[in-house]
Amino acid sequence: MKVSVIGAGSWGTALAHLLGTAGNDVMLWARKPEVCEGINALHRNPRYLVDSSVSERVRASNDYETVLRGSQAVVIVTPSSIMRDVACDIRPFVSEDTPIIICSKGVEAGTGLLPVQVFEQELGNASRLAALTGPNHAEEVIRGIASGTVIASSHRDTALFFQRLFATDTFRTYVSDDVVGAEICAAFKNVIAIAVGASYGIGLGDNTAALIMTRGLAEMSRLVEACGGTAMTCLGLAGVGDLIATCTSEHSRNRTFGYRLATGTTLEQYREETHMVVEGALACKTIDFLAKAHQVELPITEMVRSVLWEQADFHEAADALFERSLKPEFY
Ligand SMILES: NC(=O)C1=CN([C@@H]2O[C@H](COP(=O)(O)OP(=O)(O)OC[C@H]3O[C@@H](n4cnc5c(N)ncnc54)[C@H](O)[C@@H]3O)[C@@H](O)[C@H]2O)C=CC1
Ligand SMILES: O=C(CO)COP(=O)(O)O
């Protein structure tokens, strides 16, 4: 099958490799010419996952028409902040019924829309749209380390199509019809990972990390339900699975960024150093927006937002969480 992968950061590169090793002809869209050259000439991405070789079935180009012409499936793996631009850019080259799966994790600024909702607005035909999310660090997937993921679509045939497309003997795919739940979990866990990383950064312990992860999961499920998703999704790979991976893994940029933030590094400095997207930094604002629209209280998310975007003091913000009124665990 000819598959187009849009975005050649870590995750796009790993997914292109996965699809190539499964026997597909993969066209990878990369923004930078040196990335195209590296993939085509040396089967390596010179900017991301530089130590891993990429399947020879992956070819790269910076031209959307070349990448998308004759494509039987489109995989979107760009940062969530440019979701709408990407949808508009690919629109002229994608037919009305080509299946599209979105693997980016975030919520659109200003609208509170989830990635699949943005694509539906720009490209129509929601039945061919899906989201892929789970505990999947690119560094491990490209090395064939056993991993699992969720493919969510409102249309069962679309979910099953992508389930088969991505499944390999080391990458296990599950389907779900809860697109809203899966995409909120995906964006949310990055915010909680920043909080966990920051708590380690100011010298707190594993008890604290477990507290933040568990209460973060409670926040996540409140928002999922308020937005029309299913709370059970939060207990699956998209929710607790990805939360564990992101809050505990050495590969996690959100967790690492949280640690570095608490120890004096700014977001700009971290981005400049790594060239990597830290989705949780934006998501703490966009999720807060969504929560206010649905009148859902998210104290940890609010704390991350105020520290990151309003220069609140992290110690004071953390203390404020302990000063909240005492209440039952589930309410
Ligand atoms: N890295 C991972 O292990 C995973 C990442 N994701 C998600 O996948 C999405 C992409 O993340 P990564 O591949 O990790 O990114 P990355 O941080 O490795 O690289 C960023 C990518 O975005 C591109 N980019 C940045 N600004 C751009 C712009 N204005 N226009 C076009 N391209 C632009 C860069 O050229 C680069 O290809 C994110 O939403 C992330 O949350 C999801 C699962 C795993
Ligand atoms: O979403 C991801 C892994 O599932 C990537 O985000 P982190 O690098 O913060 O873990």
Residue 311: left (phi > 0), alpha (psi -120 to 50), or beta?
A: left
Q: How is the chain split into domains, by residue range?
A: 2-179, 187-322
pLDDT greater than 80 at residue 1: yes
The reply to whether 2 belongs to the active site is: no
Distance between CA atoms of 276 and 24, rounded to whole angstroms? Answer: 27
Superfamily of the domain at 2-179: NAD(P)-binding Rossmann-like Domain (3.40.50.720)
pLDDT digits (tens, 9 = 90+) for 92-116: 999 999 999 999 999 999 999 999 9
Question: Domain 187-322 - what CATH class?
Answer: mainly alpha
Per-residue pLDDT band for 331 (boundaries 50, 70, 90) equals: confident
The encoded tokens of residue 52 equal: 């891993």
| Annotated binding residue 292 | no
pLDDT digits (tens, 9 = 90+) for 41-77: 999 999 999 999 999 999 999 999 999 999 999 999 9
Q: What is the dihedral of CA 178, 216, 10, 71, to 10 degrees?
A: 10
Q: Is 193 in the pocket of ligand 2 (CB under 6 A)?
A: yes
CA of 185 to the centre of ligand 1 (A): 18
Count of other CB atoms within 10 angstroms of residue 38: 20
Distance between CA atoms of 117 and 107, rounded to whole angstroms? Answer: 10
Q: Is 77 in the pocket of ligand 1 (CB under 6 A)?
A: yes
Closest C-alpha to ligand 2, atom 7:
252
Strands 73-76 and 58-61, by their bridges, are unpaired
Instruction: For the chain, give the percent of residues with pLDDT over 70.
Output: 100
Q: With 0.90 as the threshold, say if the pTM is over it.
A: yes
Q: How far is CA 113 from CA 69, 305, 306, in A?
A: 28, 18, 22
Whether ipTM > 0.95 holds is yes
Best probe residue, ligand 2, of 147, 190, 192, 250 (max atoms within 8 Å of C-beta): 190
| Annotated binding residue 48 | yes
pLDDT of residue 285: 98
